[in-house]
Structures are given as C-alpha cells and as structure tokens.
Amino acid sequence: MNYLAVLLQDQTDLSTAQHALMVMVPIFMLVGIIFLAIIIIPFWFICKKAGFSPWLSLLNIVPMGNLILVYVLAFAQWKVVPVPQLGYPPTYPQPLLPPQLPPQQ
C-alpha cells in the first residue's frame, strides 16, 4: 500500500520507484497468466468437442484473436455427429404367452 502512495507523490525517489516497480511487475505477470489460463482452458475443451484442433484456443493470446475464434466456432461446420432425438420411446418386445389350448367339451 505504501508503494502506491510513493508513486502518487510529486517528488519520488528513483530507487523507491524502482523498488515499487520491481514488486508490481511480477504480480501483474502472475495475474495475466491466471487470466489467460481462465480464458484458454475452456476454449481448449470447446474446440476439442467441436472437432477442431485445440491449439486454436491459443488465438486468445493474440489481440482480437478471441473474436476470430468465436466467429470460427459460431459459423463453421462442426465435425460432431449429433445424438438422434427420438420422438417416441422405442417399442419393447411383447412377453411370450403360453399356447392357447382348444376349448374342452
């Protein structure tokens, strides 16, 4: 918290500013890597389930690449066979009945 106050001052000591920057850069890099993982991992599974190469999910690293990937996924023909939808339940085989005997007189 003190580092932010140091950066907001008019007259800052150069070594203090460098120290504050050295503390903030790894934190920003860690947050960036976590953010990329949160975005790339779901797109990896979506691409794999859609029949595309999962490596397409790395387009999220490129600026505006995520928009390109969303359009590719939205308008491309997916290579997945859909599950057939049944309109009615299948008929089950009828149980075997005992043979009918002729009436006795």
**Residues 41/60, Cβ–Cβ less than 8 Å:** no
Average pLDDT score over residue span 15-37: 89
Say if residue 45's pLDDT is above 90.
Answer: yes
Question: Residues near 48 by Cβ (< 8 Å), separated by ≥ 6?
Answer: 54
Task: Give tens-digit pLDDT for 63-96.
Answer: 899 899 999 889 988 887 777 776 666 677 777 7
Say if residue 56's pLDDT is above 80.
Answer: yes
Average pLDDT score over residue span 46-61: 90
